[in-house]
Amino acid sequence: MAVVRLFPLSLVIAVLSGALVGCTTTSVGNSAAEQARASAIAAEPPGNYYIGRRYVTERTRFWGYLRKPGQPWSEAKLVVMNEALKRVPDRLPESPIPGNQWFTYDHNFEYRVTGRFSGESVYDPNSNAFLPEFLPTNFELISESPGWLFQPGEGYDSKQLPPKMN
C-alpha cells in the first residue's frame, strides 16, 4: 500500500523536475543574448539588400558572410567579393601604414550591402574552397562592434578558417 501512495508523488516530482529543466534560459541555443539577437534579426525590414559581416582569416581572399534580412547567421553564405562595380571598404594597402588604417581593419564590422550574386563560384586556394561570388554596389556601415557571429562566447583566431565554411 505504501508503494501505491508513493508512485503518484514520484510522478509529480518527475514531471515538475522536467518542466523546470525545460524552462532554463542558459541552455545552448536559448540564452538571453541569443534571444535578443533573434529578435533584432526578426525586426529587420525586408528589402533588396544583405547584412554582411566582414570575416578576416590570414592569406585568404574571401570577404565574409552575407545573409538576407530576417535570416539567422546560420544561413549566411561565406562569399568572395568581385570589386568590378564597387570596392570593398577596406581596399587599402595590405601592410600597416603608421597612423592609417590598412586592409582588413574592419574584421567583424557589420554592413548593409547591396548588390547581387553573380551565379559563379570563385576558388580560394588558401582555404581550398569554392565560394559564391558577390558583386556589391554599396556598403553602409551598421556597426563596428556587433558582437559574436554564430554563438555567444565564440573565439576568433586570425590564422584559422571560419567556423562555418559553406
| Residue % of the chain over a pLDDT of 70 | 73
- Measure the CA–CA gap between 5 and 102, rounded to whole angstroms: 74
78 vs 106, residue with greater confidence? 78
The pLDDT-based confidence of 117 (bands split at 50, 70, 90) is very high
Would the pLDDT of 74 be above 80?
yes
Cell triple for residue 12?
509529480
Query: What does residue 163 show for φ and ψ, rounded to 5 degrees?
Result: -65, -20
Looking only at the bridges linking them, the beta strands covering 64-67 and 50-54 are antiparallel
For residue 35, the number of C-alpha atoms closer than 13 Å in the C-beta half-sphere is: 8
What's the alpha-carbon Rg for the chain, to the nearest Å? Answer: 22
Convert the pLDDT of each residue in 7-47 to its tens digit. 343 333 333 333 333 333 344 556 888 898 889 899 999 99
**Whether pTM exceeds 0.95:** no
- Measure the CA–CA gap between 49 and 112, rounded to whole angstroms: 7
